[in-house]
């Protein structure tokens, strides 16, 4: 990419003025900082999962689900299965590859295992979206607010109407 043919793309000289006195980029704080997030986008009534799964036998066999969750067909990380992410011992939580348990409010740490660069940019506010105050408290949309974890490609949506053409004006 990056054969930007638009007229006048060059280096930004204005900004370099501002940078003269600023120190190097701050180091990323990878330690477990929690981020304010809106509630996870569960379907109505599905959470807590334990309302059904408590006491229900765990079935680790990859298969097509027929009694429940029929809408979940994995199209993500080829060869993966439910328990790469969900915790078989407590369905109300998620489980990382290293055995660490995380809540659904922290599902970004689950995604970050394999999408590390994106997680870093998400924390910086670049990937995904923050809402709230630009100079105060911010909420981070979870990865799963935009990516259905079982089939994460961002889905196409209907655009809002185009502007009226001058010729459409009576």
Site residues for another protein per CB under 8 A: 1-2, 4-10, 12, 14-15, 18, 22-23, 25-26, 121, 124-137, 141, 146, 154, 156-165, 169
Q: Which run of H or E residues covers position 107?
A: helix 107-112
CA torsion 124-127-128-133 (nearest 10°) is: 30
Cα separation, 135 vs 154, whole angstroms = 29
CA pseudo-torsion sign 66, 70, 72, 77? positive
The only residue of 49, 102, 138, 139 in contact with ligand HEC, by rule CB under 6 A? 49
Q: Which of residues 3-42 bind ligand HEC (CB under 6 A)?
A: 40-42
List phi, psi (to 5°) of 101.
-95, 135
CB of 117 to another protein, least distance (A): 10
The only residue of 153, 157, 160, 164 in contact with ligand HEC, by rule CB under 6 A? 153
Cα separation, 141 vs 39, whole angstroms = 9
Cα separation, 70 vs 34, whole angstroms = 33
The only residue of 95, 106, 107, 130 in contact with ligand HEC, by rule CB under 6 A? 107
Which residues contact ligand HEC by CB under 6 A? 40-43, 46-47, 49, 51-53, 58-59, 65-69, 72, 74, 76-77, 80-82, 84-86, 91, 94, 104, 107-108, 110-111, 113-115, 118-119, 122, 127-129, 141, 143-147, 149-150, 152-154
């Amino acid at each position: 990419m990056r054969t930007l043919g638009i007229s006048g793309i060059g280096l930004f000289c204005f900004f370099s003025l501002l940078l003269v006195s600023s120190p190097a980029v701050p180091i990323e704080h990878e330690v477990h900082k929690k981020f304010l997030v809106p509630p996870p986008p569960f379907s109505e009534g599905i959470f807590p999962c334990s309302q059904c799964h408590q006491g229900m036998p765990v079935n680790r066999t990859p298969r097509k689900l027929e009694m429940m969750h029929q809408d979940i067909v994995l199209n993500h990380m080829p060869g993966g299965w439910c328990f790469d992410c969900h915790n078989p011992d407590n369905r109300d939580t998620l489980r990382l590859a290293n055995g660490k348990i995380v809540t659904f409010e922290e599902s970004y740490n689950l995604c970050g295992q394999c999408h590390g660069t994106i997680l870093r940019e998400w924390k910086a506010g670049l990937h995904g979206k923050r809402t709230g105050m630009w100079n105060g408290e911010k909420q981070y949309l979870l990865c799963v607010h935009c990516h259905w974890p079982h089939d994460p490609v961002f889905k196409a949506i209907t655009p809002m109407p185009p502007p009226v053409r001058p010729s459409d004006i009576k």
